[in-house]
Structure 1
Amino acid sequence: MKSKLYIRTDGSSTIGLGHLVRCIALAKMLDNSFDIHFACKQIPDSIISEIRDASFVFLPIETDNELLSVLSPEDLIVIDSYELDSDYQKAIKEIGCQLVCIDDLHEKPTFADLILNHTPCVSPHEYDAQPYTQFALGPSYALIRPPFLELARKNRPQAGNGSVLICFGGSDSRNLTKVALNVVSTFSQFKKIYIVTGAAYGHQESLAEIVSQQANVGHDHNISAEEMAQRMSESNLCIVPASGILTEALTSGAKIISGMYVDNQRFVFENYKKANAFFSAENFSEENLFVAVENYLSQEHVSNAPLVDGKSGERISKLFHQLVQEQNFQLRRVTSEDAELTFQWASDEKVRQYSLNKNTIQFNDHAAWLSGKLTDPKCIFYIALFYGKPVGSIRFDLRGEEAVISYLLDPDYHGQGLGAVMLKKGILSVCEASENNIQRISGIVMPDNISSCKTFERFGFEKALEGENYKYTMNIHDENRNI
Structure 2
Amino acid sequence: MHSPLFIRADASREIGTGHVMRCLALAQAWQEKGGQVHVRGRMPGELRARLVGEGVEFIEVEEEGGTSADAQATAACAQEIGASWIVVDGYHFGAANQQNLREAGHRVLFVDDYGHADRYEADLVLNQNIDAEDGLYADRAEHTDLLLRPKFALLRKEFWPWRVPRREIRAEAEHILVTLGGADPDNVTTETVKALGTVEASGVRATVVIGGSNPHENAIQVAAESAHVPIDVRQNVDDMAELMADSDVAVSAGGSTCWELAFMGIPNVIVVLAENQKGIARGLGDAGAAINLGWHEEIRASEIESAVGSLLRNERKRRRMAGEAQALVDGWGTERAVSAMAGELFLRPAQEQDCELLWEWANDPVVRERSYNSDPIPLKEHENWFSGKLKDPSSKIYIAEERGKPVGEVRFDVKEEAAVVSVVVDSEYRGKGYGTELIRQGTRHFLSENSDAYRVDAFIKETNKPSVRAFEKAGYMHQEDLVRNGDASYRFAFSKSELDET
TM interval, short-chain normalised: 0.5 to 0.7
Q: Are residue 90 (structure 1) and residue 99 (structure 2) matched?
A: yes
1:323 and 1:110 map into 2 onto residues whose CA distance is: 23
Looking at structure 1, the residues matched to 109 and 9 of structure 2 have their Cα atoms a distance apart, in angstroms, of: 12
Tell me which residue corresponds to 2:463.
none
Find the counterpart in structure 1 of residue 159 from structure 2: 148
CA contact (8 A) 2:176 2:249 kept: yes
Partner SS for 1:99: strand
Which segments of 5 or more consecutive residues in structure 1 lack a partner in the other structure?
325-351, 355-404, 419-483
CA distance 1:177–1:4, shift in 2 (3 Å): same
Q: Distance in 1 between matches of 2:170 and 2:184?
A: 28
State the shift of 1:294 in Å.
2.0
Asked whether 1:59 is paired with 2:59, we answer: yes
Aligned-partner SS, 2:294: coil
With over 3 angstroms needed to count, the CA separation of the structure-2 counterparts of 1:131 and 1:107, relative to structure 1, is: same
Deviations 1:121-148 (A, max 9, x none): 4222321322222222122111111222
Give 1:106 deviation, angstroms: 0.8
Query: Whole-Å Cα distance in 2 between the matches of residues 293 and 149 of structure 1?
Result: 32
Match of 2:92, SS state, is: coil
Deviations 1:346-398 (CA, angstroms, capped at 9, x unpaired): xxxxxx959xxxxxxxxxxxxxxxxxxxxxxxxxxxxxxxxxxxxxxxxxxxx
Which of 122, 125, 128 aligns to 1:118? It is: 128
Counting only pairs closer than 5 Å after superposition, residues 354-369 of structure 1 correspond to structure 2 as: none
- SS of 1:414's partner is helix
CA distance in 1, matches of 2:176, 2:288: 19
Partner of 1:201: 214
User: Could you tell me whether the CA contact under 8 Å between 1:194 and 1:219 is conserved in 2?
Assistant: yes
Query: How does 1:458-473 map onto structure 2 within 5 Å?
Result: none
Q: How does 1:431-470 map to 2 (within 5 A)?
A: none
SS in 2 for 1:19: helix
Aligned-residue CA RMSD (Å): 2.8
| Alignment-derived partner of residue 177 in structure 1 | 189
Q: Which structure carries more relative contact order (alpha carbon 8 Å, separation 6+)?
A: 1
Greater mean deviation of Cα atoms: 22-31 or 134-143: 134-143
- TM-superposed CA distance for 1:66, in Å, is 1.5
Q: CA deviation at 1:202?
A: 0.9
What CA deviation, in whole Å up to 9, does each residue of 1:299-344 have, x standing for no partner?
A: 54143241221222332221121189xxxxxxxxxxxxxxxxxxxx
Identify which of 333, 338, 352 aligns with 1:312. 333
Q: Structure 1 187/286 Cα, relative in aligned 2: closer, same or farther at 3 Å?
A: farther
Counterpart in 2 of 1:409? 432
- 1:245 partnered with 2:268: no
Q: d(CA) in 1 for partners of 2:133 and 2:104?
A: 29
3-state SS of paired residue (2:122): coil
What corresponds to 1:262 in structure 2?
274
Aligned equivalent of 1:134, options 140, 145, 148? 145
1:217/1:415 Cα in 2 relative to 1: closer, same or farther (>3 Å)? same
For the 8 Å contact 2:177–2:244, the answer to whether it is kept is yes
Contact 1:74/1:96 (<8 A) preserved? no
**In structure 2, how many angstroms separate the alpha carbons of the residues matched to 1:313 and 1:417?**
22
Moved more, 141-150 or 49-58: 141-150
**Counterpart position of 2:486:** none
Runs of 4+ in 1 over 6 A off after TM superposition: none
Cα distance in 2 for residues equivalent to 1:172 and 1:416? 49
In the superposition, the TM-score normalised over structure 1's length comes to: 0.64
Deviates most, 250-259 or 174-183: 250-259
- Deviation of 1:167 (Å): 1.1
- 2:113 alignment partner in structure 1: 104
| Structure 2 SS opposite 1:144 | coil
Tell me the residue number matched to 1:467.
none
8 Å Cα contact 1:242/1:258 also seen in 2: yes
In 1, Cα distance between equivalents of 2:429 and 2:169: 47
Give the unaligned 5+ runs of structure 2: 64-69, 346-364, 368-427, 442-502
Report the Cα distance in structure 2 between the residues aligned to 1:287 and 1:414, rounded to whole angstroms. 53
Say whether the 8 Å CA contact 1:239–1:258 is kept in structure 2.
yes
Q: Which amino acid aligns with 1:11?
A: A
Counterparts of 1:286 and 1:265, CA distance in 2: 15
Aligned partners of 1:99 and 1:112 also within 8 Å: yes
- Is the CA contact 1:282–1:288 (under 8 Å) kept in the aligned structure 2? no
Contact 2:205–2:231 under 8 Å retained in 1: yes
Return the offset for 1:209: 2.5
> What secondary structure, in the 3-state scheme, does the structure 2 residue paired with 1:195 have?
strand
**Shift in Å, 1:256:** 0.3
**2:175–2:248 contact (8 Å) kept in structure 1:** yes
Give the equivalent residue in structure 2 for 1:37: 38
What does the per-residue CA deviation read over 1:437-456, in whole Å, with 9 as the maximum and x for residues that have no partner?
xxxxxxxxxxxxxxxxxxxx
SS in 1 for 2:77: coil
Aligned to 2:84: 75
Aligned to 2:66: none
Residue type at the aligned position of 2:234: D
Distance 2:305 2:62 in 1: 44
Cα distance change of structure 1 residues 2 and 183 upon mapping to structure 2, 3 Å threshold: same
Alpha carbons of structure 1 residues 90 and 163: separation in structure 2 relative to 1, 3 Å: same
Residue 46 of structure 1 pairs with residue 46 of structure 2 = yes
